[in-house]
Amino acid sequence: MQKFTVLFPTYYLALRLLTVIFLITCKLPAQDFQPNYDEEKVPEYTLPDVLNTLDGKTVRSKKTWERSRRPELLKLFEDHIYGQMPKSYDSISYSITNENKTSMEGKAHLKEVQIQIFNQRKSLKINLVLFIPTHITKPAPTFLLINNRSKDNTDPTRNIKSEFWPAEILIDSGYAIAAFHVDDLAPDNKEFFMNGALQLYPEQLSADNGMRAIGSWAWGASRVMDYFETDPAIDKNRIVLVGHSRGGKTSLWAAAQDQRFSICITNCSGNTGAALARRQFGERISAINTVFPYWFNTNYKKYNNNENQLPVDQHMLISLIAPRPVYATNASEDLWADPTGTFLSLKHAEPVYALYNLKSTLSANPPGINKPIVESPIAYHNREGKHNLTVYDWNNFIRFADYHFKINR
């Protein structure tokens, strides 16, 4: 049995404590940092209709969705929350910086790949860790993690093994497993976040709807996808994008923007991830924009304590991934990420999947703890425990991918 080092919970608890201290130090009103965890205090709200266009027309077909409503929603999310996503760059190159064809006792082929992107006479390097199973002969379906925690989680030497990225389990299941670190794209720091992808697109920093850190991380995921399309050992048509917490906010935005990702998984992503903002439960927009003002665009600050004025909510972001499968998760002790709001967001995305004749099997109400709903185009579980990414989560992600890729074991 694999042994994994738990690297994350201590870091997470410290971050939460620092968040509270920061908010108190700033002398913000109490409501700005004391989250609501009482369902009876959730205000009445009305969600914007995902199938009603801005000019009041009702979408009744996937053709109208794809030609009209989907582009409209993407623009709304760009302008009000995540920022513009640059579509071009001058050039890109790939180089193998380290390779071991007999990693994991011969079970995996390790490639450490440096992806270098050039634009406006500047360049950026993304360091990708990739393990490919050696026991399969066809191009491998692949999981890609947006790593927003310690780089030790994705140790290429495998001297450190973490539940956060249990590479051996994925390899044994016949999947390639890859990861990049968010700091390569935008340091997760309000003083230095611009020292990455935004150096290639400096005009974004002066735009109220310009890309910021999370947009940069999502942009980076697409550059990794560019690489996957060149590697004959990778099945470019079966790429599963995974993100946890702020990385889970990113995975949703990346998959909404880049339809090359076959499956999207968002783990414990909370507000501006998979959870509905209008519920005002747990994490809220005002807290995000105060402690992490560099994550989202300037326009998003207009919605601090003003969620009902947003022209969108997160069920619409999930809808942008249709018809591709999406899986959202929570943890029972992580009320900050609003498990109920996450489940409701998925439910409210069902009408868009129905346009593609895809029937969700989500229950009418949230399932019990450790009762995953996997065999569905829209999947969900609420795991026992804390805000983390665990082997339990990964095992269910594998089941989800097996189901949709039609892999029989």
Catalytic residue ranges? 245, 387
Beta strand ranges found along 29-107 (DSSP E): 91-103
Token couple for 37: 């965890």
- Supply φ then ψ for residue 238, to 5 degrees: -135, 70
- Helix 70-77 crosses helix 246-257 at what angle (to 10 degrees)? 140
With beta carbons less than 8 A apart as the criterion, state whether 221 and 249 touch. Answer: no
As a three-state string, the secondary structure of 171-235 is HHCCCEEEEEEHHHCCCCCCCCCCCCHHHCCHHHHHCCCCCCHHHHHHHHHHHHHHHHCCCCCEE
C-alpha distance across the termini of the chain, in Å: 19
DSSP bridge pairs for 147? 181
Cis peptide before 48 (omega within 30 of 0): no
Phi, psi of 91 (to 5 degrees): -165, 165
Question: How far apart are the C-alpha atoms of 22 and 330, rounded to whole Å?
Answer: 26
Q: Which SS3 state, helix, strand or coil, does residue 130 take?
A: strand
In three-state secondary structure terms, 334 is coil
